[in-house]
Amino acid sequence: MAVLERLFAVIEQRKGADPASSYTAKLLHRGPGKIAQKFGEEAVETIIAATSEGREELAAESADLLYHLLVLWAAHGLRPEEVWARLAAREGISGVSEKASRKGV
Residues 5-25 have a mean pLDDT of 95
Q: Per-residue pLDDT tens for 52-99?
A: 999 999 999 999 999 999 999 999 999 999 999 999 998 887 767 666
**Best CA proximity match to 61, nearest among 33, 42, 38, 34:** 42
Whether the Cβ atoms of residue 69 and residue 79 lie closer than 8 Å to each other: no
Q: Which domains does the chain have, with CATH numbers?
A: 24-80 (1.10.287.1080)
pTM for this one? 0.85
pLDDT value, residue 54 = 94
- pLDDT higher than threshold 80 for residue 19: yes
Q: Is pLDDT of 44 > 70?
A: yes
